[in-house]
Amino acid sequence: MDSGERPQLRRGDTPLYAMLLLAWILFSVSLFVLVLRGTWENIRSEFQADAEADIELLRDRLRTNEALLAGFAAFLGAVESPTDAQLADFAERLLADNPHIYSLEVVDKVSAAERSAFERKLAARLGEPVRIGRFDFDDGGRRLPVADKPVYYPIAFMWPDTPRARRVLGLDVDSVPYVRDALQRARRSGAAVSSPPFALTEGALAYVMLRRATGSPPDDAVRAAAAPERLAQLIVKAGSLRPGRSDPRTAHTLYAIGEAGPLQPPLFDMPAVLPTSPHERRLLPQISMDLEDYSASPPIRLSVSRQMRFVDVPVEPLALAAFLACGSLAVLVWHLRRHRAAVAREHENHERASHSALHDPLTGLPNRRLLQDRVGEAAAHWRRSGEGFALFFVDLDRFKEVNDRHGHDAGDVVLSTVAAHMRGSVRETDTVARIAGDEFVVLLPGVMEHAAAVPIAAKLLAAVAQPVELRDGLVLRLTASLGVSVCPGDGDDPEELIRRADAAMYDDKRAGDTGSHGTLLEVRAVARAPRLRVIRKLVRVPGGAVVPGGRKKVARGRS
């Protein structure tokens, strides 16, 4: 096998290599998936614990707001007609301890008959005329008169007492679209009720909490009937519900829940502080969780999410996975190289065995078996295409004398040299085979007549007659006997053609021995008398130089 030729894979090798490569890919992917899964579980556990802590914190804050509203409602119910000073003192102390409360307000129920008295009382307190009204929220909050109706729910008190707050006094809460429903539900239930979130004049979001004022029941029915209906109202800053501590990798969004689901806008929306890359969003998972709480007012839904990032993956397990993947790849490559080397050795041994089975070990020429195969192929080709061929049977004259006089090593040199000369005298597509000790057969496709075989026979005899140099400067020159058979003239059976060529060779040998002339007499242009001659001998003289020696003829007879 040519040293530069790479051995071809066996038929089953490619699927085997593909399966091994696929197994390595699956193994490597499994390692990294295990690492990512472990990281994912740790992050998810931490994320879930943080989310539950956040919802618990929100629940506490909502319950605190409910407790503040309940205390304010109880104060209004306990004191039948609290003065402005009493209300201001209570509200100031409550706001001082709870700065997340935007304002405390008192909402009175005022019938149409009581409207004028309420407006006069409020005007006396403010020092200017005041009428129960509403805000045009589509026109920048401009104060407008309210339409006549049986009952009004104006704001009778508000703290802190600021010029902006005074504009709100007398506002009919029942005329505010986003508070009207909460007002009626608070009146019916007696529990804390919250409105949807809305924007304050400062731009921040807030929501309203209302609760009907409750207290000790009056001593008699007359007093109970005379007791005014009041509602305590808190305006809570939505931003106060933001968690104080927040993972910069986590996004938080808090919604108030209405009858139809989460209300818009959200109470707050806190995106993750740390940015994530498009590759992280494409390749790594995101954790999301929605937690709801209906135990306080308003009912809330906390939506939290966190995008996993590459830096979240710990280095040690990742390095271990990479090491195992690379190590397994190295083992796989080592195994494949060994397997490939074994395949190469097997291929080389097969080629060597095939060559040895079909070629002569001394000359490297095809042997009788391979010759018969090629003659059979040539005969089949003649049957398909009509192109014939010729067989030349060549036998060296008096070759036994070479072995007897100069030894078998010299005979091997003669056979190898003569084989090379004959191989060089024909085309690459022709076949020169050694079928016995000193017998050769030459197959030439395209030669279909004996006349066409004459010049080729002359070339073969001339090739055999070329000098052969042996050891110690000994040079021999040989002759040969030759017979020819052609297809289809002498038949088309391979064995029959070889026998006919062999018989023609023996006819030629006998013709040479008796001096008669056969069919190929004209090819013997050279003298046939000396079938084996020593044509010169080199002699080593003193001093180490080699010079031509005398000529010596050997064996003039024929055999």
Percent of the chain scoring above 70 in pLDDT: 86
Report how many domains make up the chain.
2
- Rounded to 5 degrees, what are φ and ψ at 190? 75, 0
DSSP letters, 371-418, are: HHHHHHHHHHHHHHH---EEEEEEEETTHHHHHHHH-HHHHHHHHHHH
**For 127-175, how does the pLDDT look when each residue is reduced to its tens digit (9 = 90+)?**
888 888 888 766 566 788 888 899 999 999 999 888 887 888 889 999 8
The H-assigned helical ranges of 112-176 are 115-126, 163-166
**Residue 110 and residue 219 share a domain:** yes
- Rounded to 5 degrees, what are φ and ψ at 291? -120, 130
**For 222-242, how does the pLDDT look when each residue is reduced to its tens digit (9 = 90+)?**
444 556 789 999 999 998 888
Interatomic CA distance for residues 300 and 13, integer angstroms: 64
**For 337-357, how does the pLDDT look when each residue is reduced to its tens digit (9 = 90+)?**
887 888 888 888 888 888 888
**Residue 301 and residue 173 share a domain:** yes
Choosing from 331, 358, 385, the residue where a domain stops is 358
What contacts 514, CB < 8 A, 6 or more positions away?
none
Query: What is residue 554's predicted lDDT score, i.e. its pLDDT?
Result: 37
Interatomic CA distance for residues 270 and 551, integer angstroms: 115
**Residue 435 and residue 509 share a domain:** yes
Helix (H) or strand (E) holding 332, with range, is: helix 315-358
**Residue 340 and residue 411 share a domain:** no
Query: What is residue 545's predicted lDDT score, i.e. its pLDDT?
Result: 42
Q: What is the CATH number of the domain that holds 436?
A: 3.30.70.270
Q: What is the CATH number of the domain that holds 74?
A: 3.30.450.350
**For 425-448, how does the pLDDT look when each residue is reduced to its tens digit (9 = 90+)?**
999 999 999 998 899 999 999 988
**Residue 345 and residue 366 share a domain:** no
CA dihedral 319, 321, 326, 330 (to 10 degrees): 130
Choosing from 343, 358, 373, the residue where a domain stops is 358
**Residue 375 and residue 339 share a domain:** no
pTM for the model stands at: 0.56
**Residue 404 and residue 352 share a domain:** no
**Residue 369 and residue 354 share a domain:** no
What contacts 70, CB < 8 A, 6 or more positions away?
192, 211
Interatomic CA distance for residues 418 and 465, integer angstroms: 8
**For 72-129, how does the pLDDT look when each residue is reduced to its tens digit (9 = 90+)?**
999 988 887 788 888 889 999 998 988 889 999 999 999 999 999 998 998 888 888 8
441 or 215: which leads in pLDDT:
441
Residue 257, domain extent: 1-358
DSSP helix, strand, coil percent of the chain (3-state; round to 5): 45, 25, 30
**Residue 365 and residue 349 share a domain:** no
**Residue 292 and residue 417 share a domain:** no
**Residue 382 and residue 331 share a domain:** no
Interatomic CA distance for residues 277 and 275, integer angstroms: 7
Choosing from 358, 393, 409, the residue where a domain stops is 358
Confidence at 202, pLDDT banded by 50, 70, 90: confident
**Residue 421 and residue 310 share a domain:** no
